[in-house]
Amino acid sequence: MNPSDLQAKLIEAARKEPLQDQVPYAFEKRIMACLASLSPLNSWALWGRPLWRAALSCVAITLLCGIWSLASAPKGDNSDSFAQAFERAVFASSDQHLEDIW
């Protein structure tokens, strides 16, 4: 027996098989129910992922900026000297005036 002949015969049998297109009762309702449950979920899923990415990158940038500002800040506390320098600058002219009077 030649397998090619058997193959041709079986394919012929498959071709002659009538289409089985029967549909279970109210199947479209089942799909519509699925779609109804999927729709809001999808819109959240659509927005959720980019929003999470944006939030994570914002946190990362904030942390980097914080670390950078801490690292670049001067080591010693020179707030006092700045205040003294400011005071000197403000009262410089009045000091000069007082010296002239004396």
Partner 1 sequence: MEPTDAELIAAVIQGDTASFEPLIRKYQPRVFATARRYARRESEVEDIVQEVFIKAFQKLRGFRGEAPFEHWLMRLAVRTCYDFLRAHQRNRETSFTELSQPETDWLEQFVAEPSRADEHAEAARQLIGRILGRLSPSARLVITLLEIEERPVKEIAEITGWSVPLVKVRAFRARAEMRKILARITKEKYM
Write down the least CB distance from residue 52 to partner 1, Å. 21
CA atoms within 13 A on the CB side of 1: 6
Interaction between residue 85 and partner 1 (CB under 8 A): no
- Alpha-carbon span 60 to 51, nearest angstrom: 14
Options 41, 42, 54, 68; binder of partner 1; rule CB under 8 A: 42
CA 59 to CA 66: how far, in whole Å? 10
Interface region with partner 1, contact rule CB under 8 A, candidates 1-9, 53-61, 67-75, 79-87: 1-9
Among 25, 28, 73, 102, binds partner 1 (CB under 8 A): 28
40 touches partner 1 (CB under 8 A): no
Structure-token pair, residue 41: 């979920």
